[in-house]
Structure 1
Amino acid sequence: MKKMILVLSISLFMIGCKSKSVTNSKVDNKTERVIKGNWSIANVSYPGSEFIKVNSFDIADSKCFVGSTWKFISNNNKGTMALTNASCTSFASDITWFINKEGQFVMKVLSAGDKAKRVRDGYVLNVANVTETSFQLVDKINVGGKMTDVIYQFQKN
């Protein structure tokens, strides 16, 4: 009987101490609700490094994202994004996203037919300057050994 109680106690302890992965991070529901809706990228900038070329989200040159449209649905953390810049190749995709308690925007770009749980690669950017009508996503890239910000300025549609 004592062994059974000991085994049961150890089992309950192990269940209660499961490690958490990045995808199990608590979300910042307040910020997610502010960001929900239809947005477009008004500007992409690299403060102090205006002459670099950035391939954003492994899709296209960062300047092709100016004018792109984004839809964020906060109750299921899904959405869409589409490149609409006439001088660039068009692109559209479903996305999954959430904002964790550390203020990071976590996103996966989904190819046609992909389920989010099968997509292993994603992007983590910092969220900054959130208002009802605008916000920024800030990516960090390495340029010649120096970390540089890439700032995506979103405007509410």
Structure 2
Amino acid sequence: MKRIIVLLLTIGLVSCGSSKTVRDSKKVIKGDWTLTSITYSKTGKYNVTLLNDTNKDCFEGSTWQFVPNNNTGTYTINESSCSTGIRNFVFTIQEVNADNGYYDFLLKPTNEKNKSDTNQGFRLKLTALSDTDMQWQQTVSGNGEPFIINMNFNKKQK
């Protein structure tokens, strides 16, 4: 009976852990990134507030730091015409479909102590991740039609 219980506990612990692909993704994402561009799947001018913070023009050029060992990070708005400064967040990467390479990237803005005032988070698709580039996608609605926001990052090389 003891062996069965130990076996079940072991299976439970293994199944609750992150997949190897998610662990590898966390290693790649660790470090400093720049949000180089934000593009839309449809042409036009859109007034989009990203992450309930600020607009596209303010986010482009922002610097991001990811610390995967405790799933925290910061981003800094650098555009002088915007409300500049450091913002904190917690994040997780969840494997959605390993066959097509899509992962959910869950990001929740927090204060300096990693506590959320609103408990609101954002689900983005992590559609590309390499040692130098990363892309997030978010599907939103504009004029009653869905369109995709692409957030393109470059990793700062040391």
Partner in structure 2 of residue 3 of structure 1: none
Partner in structure 2 of residue 60 of structure 1: 54
- Which of 73, 85, 88 aligns to 1:91? It is 85
Give the letter for the 1:32 counterpart.
Answer: K
Structure 1 contact 82–90 (Cα < 8 Å) conserved: yes
Cα distance 1:109–1:43, how it changes in 2: closer, same or farther (>3 A)? same
Q: Per-residue deviation at 1:45?
A: 0.7
Partner in structure 1 of residue 137 of structure 2: 138
Q: Report the Cα distance in structure 2 between the residues aligned to 1:54 and 1:133, rounded to whole angstroms.
A: 27
Q: In the TM superposition, what are the counterparts of 1:8-157 in structure 2 within 5 Å?
A: 26=18, 28-102=22-96, 103-113=103-113, 115=115, 120-157=119-156
Q: Report the Cα distance in structure 2 between the residues aligned to 1:51 and 1:25, rounded to whole angstroms.
A: 43
TM-score when scaled to structure 1? 0.77
Structure 1 contact 68–81 (Cα < 8 Å) conserved: yes
Q: Per-residue deviation at 1:114?
A: 5.1
Q: Per-residue deviation at 1:52?
A: 0.9
What CA deviation, in whole Å up to 9, does each residue of 1:64-121 have, x standing for no partner?
A: 10010110011111111110012222132221111101101001111244525x7521
Q: Report the Cα distance in structure 2 between the residues aligned to 1:32 and 1:89, rounded to whole angstroms.
A: 29
Over the aligned positions, Cα root-mean-square deviation in angstroms equals 2.2
Find the structure with the greater CA-based Rg.
1
* Unpaired stretches in structure 1, ≥5 consecutive residues: 1-11, 17-23
Number of equivalences:
135
Cα distance 1:25–1:92, how it changes in 2: closer, same or farther (>3 A)? farther
Structure 2 contact 88–114 (Cα < 8 Å) conserved: no
SS in 2 for 1:100: strand
The percent identity for this pair of structures is: 24
What CA deviation, in whole Å up to 9, does each residue of 1:108-152 have, x standing for no partner?
A: 111244525x75210110001211101111111101121111111
Greater percentage in strand? 2
Partner in structure 1 of residue 100 of structure 2: none
Structure 1 contact 49–148 (Cα < 8 Å) conserved: no
What CA deviation, in whole Å up to 9, does each residue of 1:11-61 have, x standing for no partner?
A: x9xxx9xxxxxxx89462111211110001000111223311110011001
Give the letter for the 1:128 counterpart.
Answer: T
